[in-house]
Structure 1
Amino acid sequence: MEKKRKLETVRYTIKSEKLPRKMRPLKLVMLADLHDRLWGEHQRFLADKIEKLQGDLVLCAGDMLIAEKCAAMDHAVQLFEELKKRKIPVICGNGNHESRMRQCPETYGTQYEIYSRRLTACGVRILTDEVMDFSWEGQKIRIYGYELPLSFYKKFRQLPFEGQDLREKFGIPDPEAFHILLAHNPVYFDTYAAWGADLTLSGHLHGGIIRIPGIGGLITPQAQLFPKYDRGLISVNGKYMVVSAGLGEHTVPIRIFNPPQLILITVEGNA
């Protein structure tokens, strides 16, 4: 059994003018970038932490495993098995690791099919460029699982993104609904917000890996220095993004002043 490390639990509250003040708050537990990391035997330590937050829904912002030809996925699957036992509903979007496995079968074979089948057996809903509607206290909530094209994850460069791919896949958001976008790469928050995402959930940057007090994260997986959106809650003109520092690591297993995170987001009405 892997030794448990310090896990930071972070709580954020956001308020939306689209939702009435009288609405019972919607509590969302956010996961990202587990990278098949083990948190206690059969993931029970992490599952217990999630259960104690008493969220209404668990949302995963991607990279729960590592893309490899023979991908290790047992620890990720164990977490979803534990959440199923606790009857906690889970919705997953794909990160760049899941996307690579899904889009490049010539390299990864059937690894993504195996992974998605095992998650589905745990009752997990995977949104792959898909949208899911549900009603909360009579209010329309839409959750989008967005796969940013893999070209936007290349190292040593950051391509401009104006949102055409978002519009082609999802159209123009209904102004009456509250829109939650699972978009793994936080770099393009301004574009997500301009498209119509009220709340974007992202990860990918691992909090900047090494954090410099008073400055922030040092470097991104694309080898970009001092990322603008490395972790935390960001708000611009009534649109929000939460960026997780992640639950695991890969390639460079380093975290300095940057503990792994479990996040609870409480959505309240302000109309």
Structure 2
Amino acid sequence: MSKFKTTFYTIETGKIPGLKRPWRLALLADLHNKSYGPDNRLLLEEIRKNHPDGILIAGDLIISDRKKQEVHKDAAYQLLIALAAEYPVYLGNGNHEHRMREFPDSFAGEYDSYIRMLRSCGIHTLVNGHLTQQIGGALVTIYGFELDFSYYKRFTRKPFAVTCLTDALGTPDPGHYNILIAHNPVYFPQYAKWGADLTVSGHLHGGIIRIPGIGGLITPQAKLFPKYDAGYFEEQGRSLIVSRGLGSHTVNLRIFNPAELIFIDITNRQEDITK
């Protein structure tokens, strides 16, 4: 797997009426320490070519292996450092980062050094946290939600309540445009009910094998034909964008399922913007 596709989505909102042009965000997920050319040159070139205003990271840029007590990180670290030098970067944890944090003894305190590196570069580490800023004269809040490792166990789907989000993040202000970075997309109905105007996710690797006309075949939790496998979804008037991911792990296989870099243009609903 040496290539990736670039996908564009447009999200319209009435919550940012002062936008004069699309606010463009790049979405990266599930790199799993892969490098597209030396120092991820090809990936960086594609990002630069499309001039994003910021970068959303939806988790699993690294590989953490608890059995081997190993972390594979160098390509991911180099990419993050390069991105942070040019763009605002908003990062949420995936299950691989969470594993490092949850089991520090297995990884010799690697998570703490990881977070220090990110923060030293100016990366916004949104681990059950949030950041509010002004975009187009309106308030936009970006949240990062870290799902507990118990929700990632194979052959199970643990019940998930909206209170899990309010306990971790509080209640979003409905007057803000609220973006939620949530690595696992399967709980999108709860994310939407909580108040996320836009949720960005990854984790499912597009279903690993995609069947034309049907979609992704299987999730990392071994669930067949996942609903939120990849692409754009809308429920309760709220949006979800799921990345197919940029790398792979454990099952190093992609069929009809190229790796993916995503750009999201958030626009004023009243504007007539064409690409």
Band the TM-score falls in, shorter-chain normalisation: over 0.9
Native 8 Å contact 1:24 1:137 kept in 2: no
Runs of 4+ in 1 over 4 A off after TM superposition: none
Give the equivalent residue in structure 2 for 1:54.
51
- Residue 70 of structure 1 and its aligned partner are, at CA, apart by 2.5
Native 8 Å contact 2:145 2:169 kept in 1: no
Measure the CA separation in 2 of the matches of 1:120 and 1:45.
25
- Residue 120 of structure 1 and its aligned partner are, at CA, apart by 2.4
Q: Where do 5+ consecutive residues of structure 1 fail to align? A: none
Q: Where do 5+ consecutive residues of structure 2 fail to align? A: 271-275
Spell out, residue by residue over 1:184-224, the C-alpha distance to the aligned partner (whole angstroms, 9 max, x if none).
Answer: 00000000000000000000000000000111000000011
Give the equivalent residue in structure 2 for 1:39.
36
Give the equivalent residue in structure 1 for 2:75.
75
Measure the CA separation in 2 of the matches of 1:193 and 1:9.
26
Native 8 Å contact 1:21 1:270 kept in 2: no
Spell out, residue by residue over 1:202-258, the C-alpha distance to the aligned partner (whole angstroms, 9 max, x if none).
Answer: 000000000001110000000111000000011123200000000000111000000
Secondary structure of the residue that 1:67 maps to in structure 2? strand
Q: CA RMSD in A?
A: 1.4
Which stretch of structure 1 is more off in the superposition, 199-208 or 70-79?
70-79
- Residue 123 of structure 1 and its aligned partner are, at CA, apart by 2.4
Measure the CA separation in 1 of the matches of 2:45 and 2:19.
30
Secondary structure of the residue that 1:83 maps to in structure 2? helix
- Residue 129 of structure 1 and its aligned partner are, at CA, apart by 0.5
Spell out, residue by residue over 1:39-74, the C-alpha distance to the aligned partner (whole angstroms, 9 max, x if none).
Answer: 110111111111111010000000000113231110
- Residue 21 of structure 1 and its aligned partner are, at CA, apart by 7.0
Percent of pairs identical after alignment? 49
Please tell me the residue identity of whatever aligns with 1:257: F
Alignment of 1:184-199 (within 5 A): 184-199=183-198
Secondary structure of the residue that 1:133 maps to in structure 2? strand
Q: Does the C-alpha gap of structure 1 residues 48 and 22 become closer, same or farther in structure 2, counting only changes over 3 Å?
A: closer
1:6 has 2:3 as partner:
yes
Measure the CA separation in 2 of the matches of 1:241 and 1:71.
30
Spell out, residue by residue over 1:152-204, the C-alpha distance to the aligned partner (whole angstroms, 9 max, x if none).
Answer: 11110111212111111222211100000000000000000000000000000
Measure the CA separation in 1 of the matches of 2:14 and 2:40.
38
Secondary structure of the residue that 2:63 maps to in structure 1? coil
When the two structures are superposed, what TM-score results if normalisation uses the length of structure 1?
0.95
